Structure 1
Amino acid sequence: MSRMSTAVVLAIALTGLAGCGIHAGETHFSFSLGREAESTFEWSGQVGEGQWIEIKGINGELTAMPGTGDSVQVTAVRSGFHSDPNEVEIVVVEHVDGVTICAVYPSSGTEPNECAPGDSGRNRMRNNDVKVEFEVRVPAGVGFAGRMVNATIRAEDLTADVRAQTVNGSVRLSTSHGASATTVNGSIRASFGETAWDGEATFETVNGSIRLEVPEQINADVEIRTTNGRITTDVPITTTRATRRRVEGT
């Protein structure tokens, strides 16, 4: 594998919906006085090839890995010391592009929190220490999207597009298709097993580093920018623009 590293922004352009079957989730709850309370939610369902499974949360961790069958499997472990884990509802929303699953916290204002796909929906919380650790098993050909706030996202060895977004946390992903990842406070590590697809790969962080591993034979237009950092690469790039803070080329 060849590597590219930068500290802020990396963008690469590479050249070269069925219905959902839903199964009701299951919840298990345990509580011990003076200890962290824990509640587990489980869900499985059919998501068609080319569709998406999207996970949205605030505090916790998010891990995605390949599934062994044709169903998406999601486990969400809720835990908290002072707040009741069951106050955080795990909501499943079926839509034309696939399935979105959210950890919905009790509303902290006049507007209710709502689970919705993509940039839609609302999820704000106040004085709630519940964290949710998601584990997702993704079948071949199903896209994965993770949208978190205070969480690390890991999505590795997947076979379709990956989108990862967090604020305070690092992102680690690997896929054989397109990808994008953004964080504010954290690093990004991304790896592509192959590049036999047309699309764009975009990575951005404010306070952290970015490292990208790509196959030796890659056909791509590359744009790398940094504000306070350095750019290094062991991939041969025919540059059309090269400064200390910016590199463009193929």
Structure 2
Amino acid sequence: MHTMTRWTATAVVPLAMLAAPAAAQESTTWRWDGTLAEGRTVNLHNVNGSVRFESGSGDRVEVEAEKRWRRGDPDDVRIEARQLSNGNVVICAMWRRNDSCSEGGINGGDREWNRNNDVSVHFVVRVPAYANVDANTVNGSVEVAELRGRVDANTVNGNVEAASSGGPVRARTVNGSIRARGLITDDLEYNTVNGSIEIELPANTNADVSLRTTNGRVTSDFPITFTGEINPRRIEAKVGNGGPELRARTVNGGIRLIKQ
């Protein structure tokens, strides 16, 4: 079921003001709900706006998407959510005509971007605690609250904060910081350019770590055994007995390993 609401803010402007006031921001809300079996994944692909996943109840998936705009046309942005034959759920916000939505991302559509369309879409998605999550946007933050499944969280312009108590967490951005908490069950990678990286790991973690920054410091709450040349900005080392590889890269920012 879809529900929609609109509001418009108004302001009293003194007659002496010659400049026209800025357009008031408007919004509308879109909703979808379904179910997700254990071991399945919710894939979300956004372009302009934030993404937040949080633990819900039972096997329910509840999606709430708020469109916000000042001068754009919200009808130009389509939101789609559906359950696939494999049991996974895919959710997309699409700005271009003829775009299509798949697990791998937003496909096709016109190549030209309407630069006058300032519509943003902000998602809040409640999923079963056991869900795997693949959350993506371009302009906006990504936040995944405490879940138990695998988490992949990616943006370009925004911070990433993602946590799982029972699975691995991967994260990537370009202009923003990363804070991640999860298990190392296989190789993991964290990348940004302008921002810090903080990775919180269980005290009994065993991993091979490769940590590199250009303008920043690398610090660790864990005792580490160096496996290469000691360099405060380029560390190749073992945590515990070593194991899966954890790679973290930034240019402008520090890297820190935090012990839970």
Specify the TM-score bucket, using the shorter chain as the normaliser: 0.7 to 0.9
**Bigger CA drift: 225-234 or 147-156?**
225-234
Distance 1:100 1:121 in 2: 13
Distance 1:210 1:60 in 2: 22
SS at match of 1:35: coil
Q: Report deviation, 1:154.
A: 0.8
Runs of 4+ in 1 over 4 A off after TM superposition: none
SS at match of 1:28: coil
| Structure 1 counterpart of 2:213 | 226
Q: Which has the higher contact order (CA 8 A, sep 6+)?
A: 1
Q: Which amino acid aligns with 2:51?
A: L
| Structure 2 counterpart of 1:236 | 223
SS at match of 1:27: coil
Q: Report deviation, 1:227.
A: 2.6
Match of 1:178 among 163, 168, 183: 168
Residue 90 of structure 1 pairs with residue 79 of structure 2: yes
Distance 1:88 1:31 in 2: 18
Deviation digits for residues 191-214 of structure 1 (CA, Å, limit 9, x no counterpart): 23xx4x622332110111101111
Which structure 1 residue ranges, 5 or more long, are not aligned? 1-24
Distance 2:100 2:219 in 1: 43
Give the TM-score taking structure 1 as reference length.
Answer: 0.81
Q: Pick the structure with more strand per residue.
A: 1
Is contact 2:169-2:181 (8 Å) kept? no
Q: Report deviation, 1:55.
A: 1.2
Q: Report deviation, 1:138.
A: 1.5
Is contact 2:45-2:136 (8 Å) kept? yes
Residue 59 of structure 1 pairs with residue 35 of structure 2: no
| Structure 1 counterpart of 2:35 | 46
Is contact 2:2-2:30 (8 Å) kept? yes
**Aligned alpha-carbon RMSD (Å):** 1.9
Q: Report deviation, 1:165.
A: 0.8
Q: Which amino acid aligns with 1:240?
A: T
Is contact 2:100-2:108 (8 Å) kept? yes
Residue 115 of structure 1 pairs with residue 91 of structure 2: no
| Structure 2 counterpart of 1:14 | none
| Structure (1 or 2) with the larger CA radius of gyration | 2
| Aligned 1:46-195 pairs, distance under 5 A | 46-95=35-84, 96=86, 98-107=88-97, 112-119=98-105, 121-122=107-108, 125-126=113-114, 127-176=116-165, 177-192=167-182, 195=183
* Identical counterparts, % of pairs: 38
Q: How many residues align?
A: 219
Q: Which amino acid aligns with 1:102?
A: C
Distance 1:116 1:164 in 2: 17
Q: Judging changes above 3 Å, is the alpha-carbon distance between structure 1 residues 97 and 200 closer, same or farther for their aligned structure 2 residues?
A: farther
| Aligned 1:199-214 pairs, distance under 5 A | 199-214=186-201
SS at match of 1:68: coil
Which structure 2 residue ranges, 5 or more long, are not aligned? 11-22, 239-260
Distance 1:86 1:57 in 2: 16
Q: Report deviation, 1:93.
A: 3.9
